[in-house]
Amino acid sequence: MTSTKYDVLGIGNAIFDVLVQTDEAFLATHGMTKGGMALIDEARALAVYQAMGPATEMSGGSAANTIVGIASLGARAAYVGKVKSDKIGELYTHDIRAAGVAFDTAPASSGPATGCSYILVTPDGERTMNTYLGAAQELTPADIDEAAVAASSIVYLEGYLWDPKSAKEAFVKASTIAHGAGRQVALTLSDAFCVDRYRDEFVQLMRDGTVDLIFANESELHSLYQTADTDTALGQLRKDVKLGVVTRSEKGCMVASKDGVIEVPAFPIDRLVDTTGAGDLFAAGFLFGLVRGADHKTCGKLAALAAAEVIQHIGARPQVSLKDLAQKSGLPV
């Protein structure tokens, strides 16, 4: 196998996050399903934005958050995602590059604006997302740099990519290139509603070897196999994919492989503020452990540490060096 340029290359919907703290009454008034992600059009995006209170605005997108976390741990990280050459697109590009991530996807010069996600955070820390994909939908197979994919130890994909047709094709192209170069492909299922839309296709991606590693939370796992019994779903997951990692919030995670299932506890926190990005940063820690050759338990500990950092403040990206945090906790970096 040839040497690598990047430890992890992520491909996802490049989305600018607009976060606001609100209450459940606001969600009810605006017909939002708490804890989910709804795809919205530009008119709905404008209406939600105008109804929201003062907001915190920052670059986001599920896979992008993961890749920023990987860079914060000290790994070599790259990202592929589509923005427009507008003000928000320029902010997005600046933010991700400033985080130490290689980002060379050409911006769209025409078409819809850079995508935005309007994220409502309730007092219990739960996030409800309303996402206008915008330019993110314009990601095509032509945006996949074959050399960069082939030179990345792990290619990481988000389930949300399965919504736009051209992005789906880009996803499959990247997986084919990665496997041709002897690399691994990881997928996060992203959202239980996303799984509801594409259940059969996701299972097929696992069974035909398009993806090697799956990240899911318990509700996504239950949706995938249409069962409320976690043990039954885990048994099927072990048959369908080489490695499955299931997050369980404060109960930690379970790592399922052909060898069995191991449990890793959550990392202690002082206060839950905002769960936005918890799964994204969890994946960052786990993938970092994998590329460093750590065992699954250590990968789970690194994942728990990264997730714990991000849920104790507003926003889906780390506010301190995860590498420093890991070192202080005695974890390998």
Chain mean pLDDT for the chain: 95
Query: Is 166 inside a domain boundary?
Result: yes
pLDDT at 73 over 60: yes
Predicted local distance difference test score (pLDDT) of residue 243: 98
Closest alpha carbon to 78 in 100, 107, 101: 101
Give the mean model confidence (pLDDT) for residues 138-161: 96
pLDDT of residue 82: 97
Query: How far is residue 5 CA from its own chain's centroid?
Result: 21
Domain assignment of residue 252, yes or no: yes
Q: Which domain holds residue 165?
A: 6-13+61-112+134-328
Give pLDDT, residue 53.
87
The pTM (predicted TM-score) of the whole model is: 0.94
The pLDDT tens digits for 262-316 are 999 999 999 999 888 999 999 999 999 999 999 999 999 999 999 999 999 988 8
CATH number assigned to the domain comprising residue 203: 3.40.1190.20
| Residue 289 token pair | 């452990």
SS (H, E, C) the chain: CCCCCEEEEEECCCEEEEEEECCHHHHHHCCCCCCCEEECCHHHHHHHHHHCCCCEEEEECHHHHHHHHHHHCCCCEEEECCCECCHHHHHHHHHHHHCCEEECCCCECCCCCCEEEEEEECCCCCEEEEEECHHHHHCCHHHCCHHHHHCEEEEEEEHHHHCCHHHHHHHHHHHHHHHHCCCEEEEECCCHHHHHHHHHHHHHHHHCCCCCEEEEEHHHHHHHHCCCCHHHHHHHHHHHCCEEEEECHHHCEEEEECCEEEEECCCCCCCCCCCCCHHHHHHHHHHHHHHCCCCHHHHHHHHHHHHHHHCCCCCCCCCCCHHHHHHHCCCCC
User: Does residue 121 sit within a domain?
Assistant: no
Predicted pLDDT at 3: 82
User: What is the spatial distance between Cα 274 and Cα 283, in angstroms, rounded to a whole number?
Assistant: 17
Is pLDDT of 1 > 60? no
Q: Which two tokens stand for residue 227?
A: 């069962």
pLDDT at 254: 98
Max CA distance (Å), the chain: 55
Distances (CA, A) of 110 to 19, 70, 114, 168, 177: 27, 31, 10, 21, 29
CA distance 241 to 74: 28
Share of the chain above pLDDT 70, in %: 99
Task: Assess if residue 124 is contained within a domain.
Answer: no
User: Is position 22 within any domain?
Assistant: no
| ∠ Cα 312 314 319 (to 5°) | 70
Asked, for residue 253, whether it belongs to a domain, the answer is yes
Is residue 223 in a domain?
yes
Other Cβ atoms less than 10 A from the Cβ of 218: the count is: 18
Question: So what's the pLDDT on residue 2?
Answer: 66
Look at residue 21 and tell me if it is in a domain: no
Give the total number of structural domains in the chain. Answer: 1
